[in-house]
Amino acid sequence: MAPRSPKPPRVWQRMLSGRRLDLIDPSPLDVEIEDIAHGLARVARWNGQTLGPHIYSVAQHTLLVAQFAQAVDPELPRDARLAVLLHDGAEYVVGDIISPFKAVLGDGYKDIEKRLLAAIHIRFGLPPHPPASIAKAIKRADQAAAFYEATRLAGFGLDEARGFFGKPLPLPHDGETFLQPWDAETAKTRFLATFEAAFNG
């Protein structure tokens, strides 16, 4: 009797919405904004090595990035505002892998992340990959947010942070409130409200 073939590994994750998202071939039809908000509000930035009674979540980080992007360009168009808010969207599935570990993992991780983000973009009517101008705006705002998170929450010195993230942009109006870690429900609720405003705006 021929040996049975090993059962293939499971490559999908079940979401609280009931959706099953395939990590190898993600379908936009299996992407729900409530799942994204719920997951990102419970994923810790900086591997959890931050000050405060709560984790500093990826959901809160994306809202700070959106604050920076809007401060730089108050006329940021709808698609750009959505792309900024969703720039770390894949992390609701794969978590926030810190940059040093991404360097160790190499291109395999990046490919999965890119496919997931493309599916998220398509689900919400965006091109799979943002245009170069939007990608540049996201990177600039993301690095500014990372500088303030690093120095206010994650124990980095100012010179050390400048070496990694460059000269920071001025902190936007109300930016301080985005650097005080929120509980998960607050992060989720504020992320969803910001998404709805951008999506319908």
pLDDT digits (tens, 9 = 90+) for 22-65: 999 999 999 999 999 999 999 999 999 999 999 999 999 999 99
Q: How many CB atoms lie within 10 A of CB 167?
A: 8
- The per-residue pLDDT for range 178-201, each reduced to its tens digit, is 999 999 999 999 999 999 999 997
- pTM, two decimals, is 0.92
Q: Is the pLDDT of residue 6 over 90?
A: no
The CATH number for 137's domain is 1.10.3210.10
Q: Is residue 22 part of a domain?
A: no
The DSSP secondary structure of 84-119, one letter per residue, reads: HHTTTTTHHHH----HHHHHHHTHHHHHHHHHHHHH
Q: Is residue 172 part of a domain?
A: yes
What type of residue is 199?
Answer: F
Please, which pLDDT band fits residue 2 given cuts at 50, 70 and 90? Answer: low
Q: Is residue 78 part of a domain?
A: yes
Of 14-18, 31-35, 103-107, the poorest mean pLDDT is in 103-107
Q: Is the pLDDT of residue 165 over 80?
A: yes
Q: Is the pLDDT of residue 97 over 80?
A: no
What type of residue is 138?
Answer: I
Please, which pLDDT band fits residue 21 given cuts at 50, 70 and 90? Answer: very high
Q: Is residue 187 part of a domain?
A: yes
Range of the domain at 143: 30-200
Q: Which of 152, 134, 159 is nearest to 64 (CA)?
A: 152
Average pLDDT, the chain: 93
Enter the DSSP assignment of 29. Answer: G
- The per-residue pLDDT for range 114-156, each reduced to its tens digit, is 999 999 999 999 999 999 999 999 999 999 999 999 999 999 9
Q: Is residue 1 part of a domain?
A: no
Q: Is residue 13 part of a domain?
A: no
Work out how many domains the chain is built from and give that number. 1
Specify the higher pLDDT residue, 171 or 8. Answer: 171
174/59 Cα distance (integer angstroms): 17
Enter the DSSP assignment of 61. Answer: H
Q: Is residue 2 part of a domain?
A: no
Percent of the chain residues past pLDDT 70, beyond the cut: 98
Q: Is the pLDDT of residue 1 over 70?
A: no
Q: Is residue 20 part of a domain?
A: no
CB 138 within 8 A of CB 69: yes
Enter the DSSP assignment of 47. Answer: G
